[in-house]
Amino acid sequence: MDGLFSFLSMGGYGAYVWPSYGLALLVMGGLFLQARRDLRHSEQRLLDLKQRDASQQGGRDGKDNPEASR
């Protein structure tokens, strides 16, 4: 237990060391999660639009549609 306390106190500098690492975790975690959410969001939107486009094209009898076939 003493070992844990001395680790957390960081030789008296715990109030400066831990916020530094916490901030890094917060900033980098936020960057990563936001980027992944954006990617999922825009890929889903693209997929939805492709399906809508394909159903529209189907109604117009086999018109050439390179975007839907990708």
Residues near another protein (CB under 8 A): 7, 10-14, 16-17, 19-21, 23-24, 27-28, 30-32, 35-36, 38-39, 41-43, 45-46, 49-50, 52-53, 56, 67
Q: How far is the CB of 3 from another protein (least distance, A)?
A: 11
The full DSSP string for 15-67 is HHHHHHHHHHHHHHHHHHHHHHHHHHHHHHHHHHHHHHHHHHHHHTSS---HH
Query: Collapsing DSSP states into helix, strand and coil, what is residue 14?
Result: helix
11 vs 62, beta carbon nearer another protein: 11
Q: How far is the CB of 20 from another protein (least distance, A)?
A: 4
